[in-house]
Chains A and B, each alone.
Chain A
């Protein structure tokens, strides 16, 4: 018998709680997850995310209007399939895409993107918020996996 159960029985014996209350406490104890056996796992294991959510909120001129909200939920499977799509782009077209990316300051080779890279990004992408301040509007972009 563990410590919590003994304490409940003691309280019941001393008349501090009624039999119904004791029953509820026992039920609550049973629902409680068991404490982790090893000290190595401090946090509970995270469920594998299934979706990537992108929320864009645009607030124009100091809350005169309701903000515009764009909400996109994409299955991560679709992103994985998209990465595969990059692998079937012909070499000539790939060079064009890489050149255009380089011109815009993005120095990546789309031919080198592998599904493993995407998994690394997903693992790290808990919750990313980007605030964009323009002259007359505020844009908040929130990207997270769920």
Chain B
């Protein structure tokens, strides 16, 4: 299993990755900028994501909406921002590749002359509404803010969420946005992948024609920051919810680092799906929770594992917490079973095969090539990524669980209904979230 590709770097530093797949007459154009909310500073949060919005509002030579010509050519397109990177993609009919490259290169090279105060004000309003819709007006929606703020110190770039603080978004000035663009949105900080019905040589020539003229900016220094969690940080807040929910989070290894794959599998076998240990105990047998899930959220500088469980009516988060840590202790002491390891292995094989089905979009082959290239400088990493999961053993998983899912170094967050503070896990302090 692999994603065959060729890689070229243009004179201006832009990485170009090419993958031919002629099954369907479409081409995925996928462009990563190595900038995310971790490149922001306290008081200036939400920039990278706000920028993602502004990138769809027109550039110097096409000073109108970005969507219209591409949708008119039969494309689907989107973008996303996380802590570490921003990606933009189009999936176009093969005959519209040149149009997509024209559009992407124009907003890389010539965005600022078209970026007016009016567009900026409009998209700031849209982002404030995105925040209301996806966080403020959603039950438990402010949990990420509380968790990240407790896991990472105030000046650590993972302390804040990608959507940003309301006050920061309202205070941001257009000239700051311009400066942010000049620093991060240039060929030397970007990687473009084309996957699909292309001739690799012709496609490379076309990419060079449109992107080669864009000047490289100053090199972007990697962000570095450390975080340690010395104790069990116990916090709670009240929300407009019917059922209380418990979150437990731990600091864990970074993406692709040693222990990352083990934690993926450990969180799966603990809390994901009906076969998981905590589903069986909390939901199936003891029926004190309505749902449970967990994940290893691996990022470039550090990771965090998160476990979430919602209490069934009449039950407290303290009851759930006790069972969670009994099961974690059992895993840390005895390790997984042979059957759990074997299931994890075949599930990893299947999941990686599923990832080879699409050329574009979030998680498609073009997005994966860029991820491996940007984070590891190695677009060929796909089979070795799978191998990380295939070599996990009973002992390595047990050791990683014991080391990282430590009951004495974690964040324990309770979100409870208004006026029902007694349902929170014991000894929790009030968290301030907005």
A in complex with B: no
Binding site for B on A (CB under 8 A): none
Binding site for A on B (CB under 8 A): none
